[in-house]
Amino acid sequence: MSDPSELRALYRDLLQRLQRNEREFRRLGRAVWRVQEDERRRIARDLHDGVGQNLTALKLRLHELQSALDPSQAALHDGLAQALALCGDTLEDTRELSRLLRPPILDDLGLASALRWLARSHDGRGGARVDLELGELPDLDGELQTLLFRTAQEALANASRHAQARRIRLSLQRSGEELHLQVRDDGRGCDPAAAMASGGNGLSGMRERLRLYGGRLDLASAPGAGLRLSARVPLDYA
C-alpha cells in the first residue's frame, strides 16, 4: 500500500487540477456568453437603426401617397390604409424584438432602470400584477448586470406563460457578498425537479449561466402552491 502522505499529496494534486479545470471551464463559458450577448446587441441595433428606420420611412411615404389620392379613389384609399396598418404593426413588432434581444436601457441606464422597465412591460400580461422591490445595489460590472437581467427576464416570462399567476413579485437585494434575485408568484406551482429537467422553460439554461459566475438557482414550489425562484450570485465571480 502507498504511503498515506503520498496519497494525500496525490489527492491534493488531483483536487487542484479539478479546481483549475473548473475555473477554466467557467472562463471559457463566460467568454462564449459574452459573444452571444454582443451578437444580440448588434442584431438589436441593426433592427432598430436599419429595419426600423426603413419601415418608418416607408410609413411616411405611404401617408404621402394616401394624402395625394383623389377622394373618389376609394379602393386605393382602402388599400393604402391596410398597407399603413400592416407597416405600423410590423414596425412595432420590430421594435419589440429589438428590445427583447437587447434593451438599450440596460446599456444606457443600468440594471435598476432595466428591471423597472421589465416589470412594467410584464405588468398586466396574462392578467398578472408585477411588483418590484430593489435594494441598494453596489456598482456592478456589465456582465453581472446582464446575467441578473437575463435571469429576471426568463423568470418573468416563465411566470407569465406557465404559472397562470395573478401576482408576481420580483426583488433584487444585496446579501453580504452575494446578490440575491427572487421571483415569487401565486400561480399553479409545479414539481421543481421536473421543471428543472424540462427543456421548454429555460430554467436549466438559467441555472447553467448562473454556475458560470459561481451562482446557484433554487426552486421552491408544489402543485397549486405557487413558485419561488431564487438566484444567488457572488459579487466576486473570478
Residues 30, 43: Cα–Cα separation, whole Å: 20
pLDDT 10s digit of each residue in the chain, 238 long?
A: 567 788 888 878 888 888 888 888 888 889 998 898 889 889 998 988 889 899 999 999 998 888 888 888 888 888 888 999 999 999 999 988 888 888 889 999 999 999 999 999 888 877 789 999 999 889 999 999 999 999 999 888 888 776 678 899 999 999 999 999 999 998 888 888 887 776 656 788 889 999 999 999 999 988 878 889 999 999 987 6
DSSP single-letter state for residue 207: H
Q: Which of 101, 95, 107 is nearest to 54 (CA)?
A: 95
Place of cell 398578472: 128
Contact (Cβ atoms closer than 8 angstroms) between residue 125 and residue 157: no
Q: Which of 105, 100, 101 is nearest to 43 (CA)?
A: 101
Query: In sequence order, what are the residues at sequence separation of 6 or more whose Cβ sits closer than 8 angstroms to the Cβ of residue 78?
Result: none
Residues 151, 213: Cα–Cα separation, whole Å: 13
Contact (Cβ atoms closer than 8 angstroms) between residue 233 and residue 178: yes
Place of cell 473570478: 238
Contact (Cβ atoms closer than 8 angstroms) between residue 188 and residue 221: no
User: What's the whole-model pTM score?
Assistant: 0.80
What is the model's pLDDT at position 238?
63
Contact (Cβ atoms closer than 8 angstroms) between residue 206 and residue 151: yes
Residues 93, 64: Cα–Cα separation, whole Å: 23
Q: Which of 185, 189, 172 is nearest to 138 (CA)?
A: 172
Place of cell 441606464: 109
Per the structure block, which three cell numbers stand in for 150?
Answer: 437575463
Per the structure block, which three cell numbers stand in for 124?
Answer: 398586466
In the chain, the amino acid numbered 54 is: N
List the 227-234 sheet strands across, edge first: 129-134, 167-175, 178-185, 227-234, 216-221
What share of the chain has pLDDT > 90, as a percent? 39
216 by DSSP, 3-state: which? strand
Residues 22, 2: Cα–Cα separation, whole Å: 28
Residues 227, 159: Cα–Cα separation, whole Å: 9
- 182 vs 36, 53, 159, 166, 185, CA distance in Å? 25, 38, 12, 17, 10
Residues 164, 188: Cα–Cα separation, whole Å: 6
